[in-house]
Chain A
């Protein structure tokens, strides 16, 4: 493996999976600052309705909600996971790099313009897209519908197209690498469960994103070639418009065919990284490795055929809804296996409380809380009431917001020493943990309460509606907690930046963990593992194997028969 010299080759257009991984993570952090600031602005509006309405009109509100959702899902959580996958997969399976490093570099440099286009869309006439992160027609399909339906929406579609393109290239690399480049002895059943999580998630993404690409192309045609895939004759702004013969329902089907699996694309790797963090701090193997892997495979298959639970109230045939409802409730079975295995991994633990472990424990709570709400949304009868309320907002923030962010934080604290060869500050880490996990979970549980009270989402001024009066008490507390949460992230940014340069030097295996990445130096050199690739002799989680033996046995240690 040849070294590429110079600053550009080493840090900017690097082919090295570790550098690319860190580039993704840093990009995700930058995007998170923006997406988080949008959340704070949204919350400010909701807490003090009516104040400053001139400066911040309803059109801007819905634009900000749209962009907050889009950026968070695709440009924060997805990018952070791409980064961790890039960094971890080759190291954990004992490979020197991704199968096709050049393509890997290209994936990252395709997502950068995507980010820039998304951000640029705030500054064009009409402002950023305003049709929700779901880009529902007709708001997204008719250019004159609302100000954000103009150039802003076109840029949104362009940015998403580039994102999907990049994600697909990255996914092809992950799959090929995981299947073909495992080192000798690294059977599928010895793989760290994180690699399994990324494997299942990548297959899902590869299968689910293309129909959204199809929908995006059709939407572009509707906007610019006057086709009518997704629009029909309708009243708009008080005028009758003959738009064509299509139906918005088709877009919703194509969108949610992606949208639902995407949730698992985000959540499965996060749950798996949490699985991976736990044993280093419980000093026990994780509980139920194989059932968890099988459960994930079942979830993967089922997640492709439940998308209609987002569409119970859209005018879709109710019998079809019934099918989607039953299929959705079936998913809770394999999902509960994952949750219970997480919890059972704590059984007879010999706990070491370090920051990554604190985050892992909070993830377990969030999985439980979030999964519980899902039951009510998957059941058609109750969803008819809950649909489009803050119950939904609270629920999906617990799953794709809290579970993901908390485990990404945990993973960052955990693998930081491997990335930069230095430890993150433990004291700052704890402050960050308490000021993040606490407010975050509280905010979203409180949103469930407002939803139970009937408060609708995507509402500019909730005080306008008399029926909503009883929901007003929670508005201010939620917003104040959101401020606290946002400010607390500066602790993380400071800790991250400071530790890169000034952190305590990390040994190769600071957490006394068993998997391959910890057998390489911190940070690993170009090519990861010196002259010889490691050979794997045992399961990924051999902690406390028995009386009178070592506390943990790395995967590279030969079995003595």
Chain B
């Protein structure tokens, strides 16, 4: 008689304890480590800003309505991504392709708006090394953090492009779409933190 039956739980081995594929688990861990990278940036930002005597007021430099639209676009793209994942589970190929393409569009609009914002910032005299408004690090952190986040969005757009193309050719797996979705939601969530730390307060 084996004792296997009596100790049956998720952790007995032979199966994933969280009931998820290794791809998904790996993406979760990647998200954890990437989140800490942003935490490093934002922690440094907080440390610098709290210790600074002349940090400029963000509302004087950035256009808040514009940023709100930007944020809205990105968050909406999270919603369409969720629809794509649901469609993949339902094996609705056309819907996967459609919703992924919509998400991708959201990402591209966001990136274009960010490019416009950078151009504006630079036009007003903001540089990585200094700016007309106050503490030199204000611009440094702006370029560093939004640039790093923008790179993540760009990478996400490339991933979504691949997912969309594969969906058109019916070569997608619901697992793959879900893993891509996890990444996309993460990138959106990070933006919410950046939005809060950089622009709102």
Contact = CB atoms under 8 A, between A and B. Distances in A.
Nearest to A560: B1
B176 to A, nearest CB: 14
B123 interface: no
Interface string B120-142: 00000000111000011100100
A176 B179 CA distance: 14
Q: How many residues of A sit at the interface, in one of the four size bands?
A: 35 or more
Interface in A505-561: 536-537, 558-559, 561
A343 interface: no
B52 interface: yes
B39 interface: yes
Nearest to B141: A229
Interface stretch (A108-116, A205-213, A320-328, A370-378): A205-213
A182 B148 CA distance: 37
B33 A221 contact: no
Interface stretch (A117-125, A184-192, A398-406): A184-192
Contacts of B196: none
A410 B39 CA distance: 38
Given A211-B43, A227-B137, A206 B33 contact: yes
Contact of B48 (A94, A229, A536): A229
Interface stretch (B17-25, B88-96, B111-119): B17-25
Interface stretch (A30-38, A244-252, A435-443, A470-478): A244-252
A207 B32 contact: yes
B197 to A, nearest CB: 14
Contacts of A1: none
B12 A185 contact: yes
A213 B144 CA distance: 13
Given A182-B13, A213-B40, A221 B144 contact: yes
Contacts of A226: 128-129
B188 to A, nearest CB: 19
B4 interface: yes
A529 B1 CA distance: 24
Contacts of A480: none
Interface string B130-170: 10000111001000100010000000000000000000000
A125 to B, nearest CB: 25
Interface string B163-183: 000000000000000000000
A250 B47 contact: yes
Interface string A59-87: 00000000000000000000000000000
A4 B178 CA distance: 31
A333 to B, nearest CB: 27
Contacts of B13: 93-94, 182-187, 536
Given A206-B29, A210-B34, A180 B140 contact: no
Contacts of B39: 210-211
A235 interface: no
B137 A245 contact: yes
B65 interface: no
Contacts of A209: 33
B30 interface: yes
Contact of B32 (A206, A213, A218): A206
A247 B51 contact: yes
A8 interface: no
Nearest to B140: A227
A134 to B, nearest CB: 16
A180 B12 CA distance: 11
B59 interface: no
B37 interface: yes
Given A182-B13, A245-B137, A254-B44, A213 B37 contact: yes
A229 B26 contact: no
B15 to A, nearest CB: 8
A99 B21 CA distance: 10
Contacts of A172: 26, 29-30, 33
Interface string B73-103: 0000000000000000000000000000000
B26 A187 contact: no
A225 interface: yes
B68 interface: no
Given A184-B12, A206-B29, A213-B40, 11 more contacts: A99-B22, A173-B26, A175-B26, A182-B14, A187-B7, A207-B33, A210-B40, A214-B41, A229-B44, A247-B51, A253-B47
8 contacts: A99-B22, A179-B18, A186-B12, A209-B33, A214-B41, A227-B144, A245-B135, A561-B1
